[in-house]
Amino acid sequence: MTSIVTRFLAISAVTLAASSLLATAAQAQQVYRIVGPDGKITFSDQPPSPASNAKVTSGTGSAGGGAANNSALPFELRQIASKYPVTLYTGENCGPCVSARSMLITRGVPFTEKTVITNDDTQALQRISGDNSLPFATIGGQQLKGFSDSEWTQFLNAAGYPAASVLPTNYRQPPATPLVAVATAPSAAPNAVTAPARPAAPAAQAAPAPSNPAGIRF
C-alpha cells in the first residue's frame, strides 16, 4: 500500500510540474543597459529604437533564441525548445555552474547561457529571480535556483526533453553572452570639417646694412 501511494505522489508531482510549465511558458528576456546622450542609464527588456540613435555594443538577442531557433535541431527537439527554452545563468569561479552546464550538455539540452559578472548583471538577475545566487536557470517560465541534478532532471522530463542526447554531431552550443547588453548613444558628429592648418609664411629677412668703411655719421 505504501509503495502505491509513493508512486502516485511521484506521478502527481511530475504532472503538477508539467502543468506549471504549461501555465508559465513565458520566455526570459534579454536585459539591455541603455546609456542616453545625457548620460542617463535605463534598463529595458527591449532594444533601443533606431530613432533613439542608440547602439547595442554587446550581448544581443533574447534568452533562448539562439538555441530554440536552430534549424539544425531535430524537429521534436526544436518544438520542445521553442515551447520551453532553457536559459542558464552562470558566474565566474562557480563550481555548481560548471556542474549545471555539464549536465545540460551531456543530456543534449540546447540552452542559452547568460553570464553574471558585472554589478549591472547582478542587479538584473535580482530583478529576474528575486535573488542573486548562482547557478540559476529557467525552463520556459519555471525558475530553478541552485543546481540539483534530480530536481533539474524532473523538470526537464516534465517539459519533454529527451533523457539522452539526440543532437546532431555538428551541433555547436552558442557561446555565453553577458546578461546585460550595454547600449550607448553615438557621439554627435561635428558640424563642419575643420580645414587643415596652413603653414605660416616665413618671416621677412631684414636687408643688410650698407657698408660704411669711412665711419660717416648722419
pLDDT band at 164 (very low <50, low <70, confident <90, very high): very high
pLDDT higher than 80, residue 149? yes
Biggest CA–CA distance in the chain, Å, is 142
Instruction: Kindly indicate the confidence band of residue 25, based on its pLDDT and cuts at 50, 70 and 90.
Output: very low
Task: Enter the C-alpha cell of residue 144.
Answer: 530553478
Cell 554627435, located at residue? 188
- pTM: predicted TM-score of the whole model, two decimal places: 0.59
pLDDT score for 208: 55
Of 27-31, 54-58, 183-187, give the range with the top mean pLDDT: 183-187
Residue-wise pLDDT tens digits, 171-197: 999 999 999 987 655 555 555 555 556
What nine digits make up the cell of 187? 557621439
Question: In the predicted model, what is the mean pLDDT of the chain?
Answer: 74
Number of Cβ within 10 Å of residue 43's Cβ equals 13
Is pLDDT above 80 for 203? no
Distance CA 105, CA 70 (A): 16
Q: How far is CA 146 from CA 112, 116, 133, in A?
A: 17, 14, 7
